[in-house]
């Protein structure tokens, strides 16, 4: 995925709307799906149905790591997000990168959000068993620890009930298919809706 769709979304922000940015990797970008099938678009449809006037920016880049997401922060913050849905780190784990490096990058993103007055929903991640118990435990435990420290809303595992489930993932066995993504969107919405409602609705 290129950054061209994101550039278009960042252009000429509407001051009458609040803005939510989904910052993530291929799951956020909607790998193997149309952009309308990606979970940020499905969540946007739920917002509209609920009468919430929010601008949605899908800042997902396939293959991105936490370092990549951190490097894109200045660009992403051109959208002046009121809320950040942070779903990054899986590629760090799959590549076996140090958990300490992931923590530094996540902290930098969370610090930027806190200093900018941006609310955050943090999504956790898990790794397959072949990565070793110690590494998996350190990786998995990082997300709830940071969510607690920074006092942000937390979704423990965005692929709960979907990961490696027959009929819910694509042929690669990793990325959710359209039905799996609908389930992801439902899980995201449960955690996200209360955070949206904490921001005063923008006028239509």
* Mean pLDDT value of segment 98-103: 98
Specify the CATH number for 4-197; select among 3.40.50.720, 3.40.50.300, 3.20.20.70, 3.40.50.1110.
3.40.50.1110
pLDDT value at residue 199:
81
Measured distance CA(7)–CA(79) in Å, rounded: 10
Active site residues: 26, 172, 175
Q: What's the rounded Cα separation, in Å, for the pair 23 and 19?
A: 13
Answer whether residue 116 shows pLDDT above 80: yes
Ordered by start, the domain boundaries in the chain are 4-197
- pLDDT of 104 > 60? The answer is yes
* CA distances for 79 relative to 19, 76, 126, angstroms: 7, 6, 30
Q: Torsion angle, CA of 124/27/191/84, rounded to 10 degrees?
A: 90
Q: What is the pLDDT of residue 71?
A: 98
Give CA–CA dist 20/33, Å, rounded. 21
The rounded distance, in Å, linking the Cα atoms of 19 and 79 is 7
pLDDT digits (tens, 9 = 90+) for 60-91: 999 999 999 999 999 999 999 999 999 999 99
Which of 79-83, 133-137, 171-175, 186-190 shows the lowest mean pLDDT across its residues?
171-175
Determine the distance from the C-alpha atom of residue 192 to the mean position of all C-alpha atoms in its chain, rounded to a whole number. Answer: 11
């Amino acid at each position: 995925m290129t950054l061209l769709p994101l550039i278009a979304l960042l252009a000429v922000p509407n001051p009458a709307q609040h803005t939510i940015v989904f910052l993530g990797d291929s799951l956020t970008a909607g790998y193997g799906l149309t952009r309308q099938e990606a979970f940020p678009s499905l969540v946007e449809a739920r917002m509209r149905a609920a009468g919430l006037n929010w601008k949605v920016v899908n800042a997902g880049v396939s293959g991105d790591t936490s370092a990549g997401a951190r490097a894109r922060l200045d660009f992403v913050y051109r959208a002046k997000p009121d809320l950040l849905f942070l779903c990054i780190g899986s590629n760090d784990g799959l590549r076996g990168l140090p958990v300490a490096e992931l923590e530094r990058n996540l902290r930098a993103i969370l610090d930027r959000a806190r200093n900018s007055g941006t609310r955050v929903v943090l999504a956790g991640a898990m790794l397959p068993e072949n990565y070793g118990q110690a590494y998996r435990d350190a990786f998995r435990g990082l997300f709830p620890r940071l969510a607690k420290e920074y006092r942000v809303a937390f979704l423990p595992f965005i692929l709960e009930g979907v990961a490696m489930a027959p009929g819910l993932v694509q042929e690669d066995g990793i990325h959710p298919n359209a039905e799996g993504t609908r389930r992801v969107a439902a899980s995201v919405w449960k955690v996200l809706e209360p955070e949206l409602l904490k921001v005063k609705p923008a006028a239509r």
